[in-house]
Every structure is written in C-alpha cells, then in structure tokens.
C-alpha cells in the first residue's frame, strides 16, 4: 500500500504518467475519447485529469485518516460507502470526498472509462471520433480497456481507431499478449 501511495516508489511514478498521450498524429489512452470532452488540447485534458486525481487522493487520504475504514478497501467499495455516508452525514470531509466522484476522472466520459469507440454504432461514433481527432490535431486513436472479440488488435473507422486489448489475461479472457 505504501509503495502505491503518492509518496511511494510506484505511486510517484504512476502520478507522473499521462492519462492521455499524443505523439505526432497519434493519441493513446486507456478507454477512448468521448464527445463530451471540452478541452481544446490533449495537454489540457491530461492536466485536468491529473488535477482531479490529486484532489481525489488528498480528500480520500484525509477521510481515511479520520475514519475507521481500512485504507486497503477496494475503490468500488469505498465509492459505494462514501455515497451512502454522504447521504447520512453532514461532515464536510465526507461531502468533499463524495464530490470527487462527480469529476470527469470517474465518469463514463473519462478517457479512462469511455468505450464508445469500441461499442457504439459507427453512424454516431465515427463522426464524434473524427471531430475529436481533428480538434486535437491527430489522425489515429489507440485504446485498451475493451477486449476485442477476436482477441487480436482490431481497427474501426477506416483505421482511425486501434483497439489494443487482446485479452492477455488468460484466466479471464483466454487471449494473448500482442505487439503491434
């Protein structure tokens, strides 16, 4: 746990990594790019997500230090507990932590969670992707997060979207690691 904290060896390293990375005309992110994104550049988007993560970690750590909840509680359980507590408590600390879950970082439109490129109908999604790529000055988007049905790297939208999650977790998906 300490190694993954913001002060720990791995936590520090992870906090330095981008949520969204642009290299020339290629964008890389975990989930995808939602049409709900309003930032004008990948840099602005990444900065916003990092600020939201930093605020969440700060609020979470303050809450955990003052509560009786074990720090190792899984994120999904903590999120559910905080939502319940926020309804029952007048604590400013609980409300502050609860508010963090309304940020882009945790929403379905986050580049971490968005799956529209993988699952939405091309009629709708291709226009969205083309507009976002154009706004960010890119021609290709590379994503993970959604295991491809064939367990092979898959493209959509005239090779504008590359889906890289080939299900390499053999126990869960029976896929293989893939190199593009």
- pLDDT tens for residues 37-47? 989 999 999 99
CA distances, 34 to each of 38, 42, 50, 73 (Å): 9, 13, 18, 30
Give the pLDDT score at 104: 96
Helix (H) or strand (E) holding 21: strand 20-23
Give the pLDDT score at 113: 94
Tokens representing residue 95 in the block: 């409300």
Give the pLDDT score at 67: 76
Tokens representing residue 24 in the block: 């020339």
Stretch 114-125: mean pLDDT, rounded? 93
Sign of the dihedral through C-alpha 34, 79, 167, 148: negative
Q: How much is the mean pLDDT over the chain?
A: 90
- pLDDT band at 71; cut points 50, 70, 90: low
The string of pLDDT tens digits covering residues 134-163 is 999 999 999 998 999 899 999 999 999 999
CA distances, 159 to each of 14, 129, 137, 140, 155 (Å): 30, 11, 16, 7, 5
Share of the chain above pLDDT 90, in %: 57
- Cα 111 to Cα 105: distance, rounded to the nearest angstrom: 8
User: Which residue, among 29, 32, 22, has the nearest Cα to 157 in the 3D structure?
Assistant: 32
112 or 86: which leads in pLDDT: 112
Give the pLDDT score at 168: 87
Edge-first strand listing for the sheet containing 140-143: 20-23, 26-29, 140-143, 161-163, 154-156
């Amino acid at each position: 746990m300490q190694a993954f904290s913001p002060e720990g060896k791995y936590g520090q390293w992870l906090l330095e990594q981008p949520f969204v990375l642009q290299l020339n005309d290629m964008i890389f992110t975990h989930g995808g790019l939602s049409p709900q994104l309003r930032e004008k550049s990948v840099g602005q988007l990444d900065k916003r997500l990092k600020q939201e993560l930093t605020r969440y970690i700060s609020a979470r750590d303050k809450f955990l230090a003052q509560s009786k909840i074990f720090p190792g509680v899984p994120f999904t359980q903590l999120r559910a507990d905080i939502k319940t507590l926020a309804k029952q408590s007048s604590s400013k600390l609980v409300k502050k932590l609860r508010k963090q879950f309304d940020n882009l970082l945790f929403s379905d439109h986050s580049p971490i969670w968005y799956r529209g490129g993988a699952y939405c109908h091309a009629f709708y999604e291709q226009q969205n992707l083309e507009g976002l790529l154009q706004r960010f000055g890119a021609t290709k988007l590379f994503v993970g997060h959604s295991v491809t049905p064939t367990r092979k790297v898959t493209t959509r939208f005239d090779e504008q979207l590359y889906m890289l999650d080939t299900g390499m977790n053999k126990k869960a998906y029976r896929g293989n690691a893939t190199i593009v």
